[in-house]
A and B are shown apart, each in its own frame.
Chain A
Amino acid sequence: MTATLAGINDMVIRLFFGQSADSTMASGATGSDALFLYIWWVSVFFFVLLMGIMVYCMVVYRRKEGDVPIRSASHNTPLEIAWSVIPSLLLAVMFFWGFDGYLKASMAPSYAEEVNLTGQKWSWTMEYSTGIGASEFHTVGGNDNTPIFYMPAETPVRLKMHSEDVLHAFWVPDFRMKLDVVPNRYTPFVFTALPLDRSGADPRVEIGLSKGGQEFYYRDHTVFCAEYCGDSHSEMVATLRVVEPAFYKAWVNTPPYDVVTPPVEVGELVWKAKCAVCHTVDGGISTGPTWLNAYGYPRDFTDGSSMTQEEIDDKGPTKWDDYIRESILLPGAKVRAGFANAMPSFDGQISEVELRGVIAYMRSLSDRDPKSPIEGFDDLEAEAAELEAAEGGE
């Protein structure tokens, strides 16, 4: 009997959440699913009861020739008290259960791993305790540059979230948890990811290869922005990659790029993390101008002013370097004709090294760059690889 009930419950959870009952991947989520099941059974009971009576009446009391309106009770106090009090009690259980789960889900011990999370139109950025950020990206849905955020399993984590512009909300469906990300205020997103099953029984646990050539187990969870934030709201996704605590510790202490990383590569990483949602590098149309063959060309701005070819020729590369720098830190100063003033300021969120990286990367993407005779992006990558190989050989 109990086995059957558990089986049916598992079916219900599968139906609603897509995976079996143990698909909840954070400690708080199990309680939320149990409450969901309770509400489900209360709802099913009342719905079937009400619809059953309705259909019964439809059949038995359908109008017949010569019907006389039957005098029947117009109210019944015991019945009315019963159907007010019993649901009230069932609802009281829902309230307390839900509140209890909510409190458990929003509290973290003081030793929790704290990671800073910034929401911005239309990307998420993490800053770990060691100062590093995401350095790997993959494709989720329509977003080719979805950042991968490493998170430790079995460890309480507190994401200290804040928004640079409008409201966002950080939602991890697998954790059954979401919280608004608000400008001018920190909100704590708290979770403890459940352990990774190394037996191979869990299809969601996969084996990856780290940069250092080390094999590691991981499980990915998709993050969505759940509070409407404009044009690319639906592309504001990220991946939480839960790994074992020891691997996490090693990972978080490995900087993604160091002094010997070529600026072009730094720029490309920054582009993926912060810029790709609006700027393409292949000439494609998006919210902002493409970076392909942009550097070094004259520009017209919405306020009627312009940056002419003569000015660029006079001043050399610094003219465009200044323009990029200004556009990142103070985007509204010069808005290119044909585009809206949609870009948020990155002042305070981008380091000098990263800024120089973006400039170098944009420069590498243009055929007007004196230093780069090669056209097109693929060739450039090849060139960068050659460069790296040459460095390695020294």
Chain B
Amino acid sequence: MTTVDNNLDKLAGHGHHDEGSYLTPKYGPIGTVWDWMTTVDHKKIGVMYMFAVLFMFFLGGFAAIALRIELLEPARIIDGELTGAALKYFPGGGGENASIASAGNAYNRIMTMHGAIMVFMFIVPGIPASLGNFFLPLMLGAKDVAFPRLNLASWYVYVFGSMFGVLSIFMGGVDTGWTFYTPYSTTTAGQPQVIAMVLAAFILGFSSIFTGLNFIVTTHKLRAPGMGWFDMPLFIWAIYSTSIIQVLATPVIGITLLLLIFERVLQIGIFDPGLGGDPVLFQHFFWFYSHPVVYVMILPAMGIISEVLAVHCRKRIFGYRAIAFSSLAIAAISFLVWGHHMFTSQGELGAMIFSFLTFFVAIPTAVKVFNWIATLYKGSITFTTPMLYTFAFLFLFSIGGLTGLPLGALSTDLHLHDSYFVVAHFHYVMFGGTVIALLAGLHHWWPKFFGRMYHENGARLGCLLVFVGFNVTFFTQFFLGTQGMPRRYASYVDEFQIYHVISSIGSFTLAFGFVVHLIVFLHSMFLGEKATQNPWGGLTLEWETDTPPIEHNFHGDPVLTHGPYDFDEVVPPGWDPKDYPLPEPAPEGSKH
């Protein structure tokens, strides 16, 4: 009895070791590029998505550093004059007319650029489209996603949408904030680039829907023989829950953004009170999508943490079903809490209901954290980079979650709403949660991606810098918020300066940490040590195939013979992952 019958194939000499990995070029240079551009292989699409979203992450990161530089001084460093002078060179900047113009302040445009890029082009597609695309079929034992061509289409739609976003930046940038609140976004004069940016978000929504649809069908239809719903790795549960939200919520933002474009272009009064519309209606529409999407951002991250934690502690995950069901519960409740973004702009009844429901969503989230911590108990814990990032995640995400409590309670939120406290809170969740988990996942699966190991100590250094830099940057912002610093301010009163300076220094450390990671990754891609098939000793199916995987994922059809976290049942004493595949356990027939 072997774990998977493709091992039988190998033993019997039926393996296709000359087949080469999915990365092996089969044609000349141009042919290879064409091959990638027209590929329907989920692995190549996942890799292309990964490069695309990481590029966007660095673009958004540059914007963030620019903001932190501006905020070193209480008064504006880049004023209207400088902006006006720069705007002249942008096609949508108004030409000579813009000169001193719109005092169009650079800060607001860069702030919007940071938010819009990070949300729409990085963090929403981030994990599902890159790691999800690559590993969901592998973990299910499938040869590809259910609709490979739709998958490729989603990548092109993503690139097309992102080009609109970048175009709007080149047209002079958008200064509405990533939330496009009306009536500001419909009444600011002379900004065709607002429509370009809104269109970008609209188009990107389709790419989300395509990916989500694909993953739902793949999970339902293409699981390996023997894999029941509760034999699925938790990463799949997370991606599956995410996909449901994407398919159900994204159309709402599409409709909302279309209405916004109609109002701007055709002057139909929907949101603009000047035309008889209601500006708060826009907020309802917007957050009806954007709140569930917060969970599109965080659920896949939680999935990664469940995987990494189990493998690097070689421990059965505590409360598998609780974690799986809490993903679904979060996905469901996430549709009912949008109003907590508007406690200061709606009536008492709405505020009460949404505050109540908001506390509801806290419970499944807390349960997940408790389960992860309980998994550590009696584990065999390593200190590899993915595991260090998992510890970082537990630390930062706990802070992120707990600081959500005073924002969910009504009387405290009246003070903290739209302050730096909120900025710090959601960065702890989005960055401390999602980005940190993405880094954990990237390092965990890196060998599978490219067949090479990364430099462990180099990556650990990067992890340390990111962790310290992040906390210095954002923990200070909690104090800024409680003391009265509002969001989206380019200048501020003098007493806040010390906090801003500390925060900026933190952000530079953080940026340096990413440079270290970039170097480690580049080094690994070209000079890294060859990776073995299963360097960490994971039990999920992606480790059962070659590293990097062959074009068709598996030699033969994988059959599931053990659960994803059955370490205590199948891993023998003194086992080194290098000895993969696992030795045959003594027949006992006690499983399942």
Spell out A's residues near B (CB within 8 Å).
15-18, 28-29, 31-32, 35-36, 39, 42-43, 46-47, 50-51, 53-54, 57-58, 61-75, 79-80, 83-84, 87-88, 91-92, 94-95, 97-106, 140-142, 165-167, 169, 171, 173-174, 176-180, 182-185, 187, 222, 224-235, 237, 278, 285-287, 302, 337-342
Contacts and interface: CB of A to CB of B under 8 A. Distances in A.
Given A68-B573, A70-B568, A224-B484, A142 B76 contact: yes
Interface of A, secondary structure class, is mixed
Nearest to A339: B101
B344 A180 contact: yes
A102 B405 contact: no
Contacts of B489: 224, 233-234
17 contacts: A47-B398, A50-B394, A51-B394, A98-B410, A167-B184, A173-B484, A180-B344, A180-B345, A227-B418, A228-B177, A228-B181, A230-B175, A286-B80, A286-B100, A286-B103, A302-B97, A340-B189
A235 B491 contact: yes
B181 A340 contact: no
Given A75-B321, A141-B494, A234-B492, A70 B378 contact: yes
A32 B482 CA distance: 12
Given A39-B406, A42-B405, A169-B344, A17 B486 contact: no
Contact of A16 (B344, B382, B414, B483): B483
A225 B486 contact: yes
A235 B417 CA distance: 19
A57 B74 contact: no
A338 B414 contact: no
A247 B352 CA distance: 39
Contact of B490 (A42, A65, A234): A234
Contacts, number: 319
Given A61-B378, A141-B74, A167-B181, A32 B415 contact: yes
B402 A47 contact: yes
Interface of B: 74-76, 79-81, 84, 94, 96-105, 108, 175, 177, 181, 183-184, 187-190, 273-274, 278-280, 313-322, 343-345, 348, 351-352, 355-356, 359, 362-363, 366-367, 369-370, 373-374, 376-383, 391, 394-395, 398-399, 402-403, 405-406, 408-415, 417-419, 478-479, 482-484, 486-495, 567-569, 571-574
Contact of B319 (A36, A80, A179): A80
A244 B79 CA distance: 40
B373 A97 contact: no
A187 to B, nearest CB: 8
B412 A36 contact: yes
Contact of B405 (A39, A227, A278): A39
Contact of A53 (B97, B376, B395): B376
Given A39-B405, A176-B414, A338-B99, A222 B493 contact: yes
A87 B488 contact: no
A32 B105 contact: no
B415 A178 contact: yes
A105 B82 CA distance: 44
Contacts of A46: 398, 402
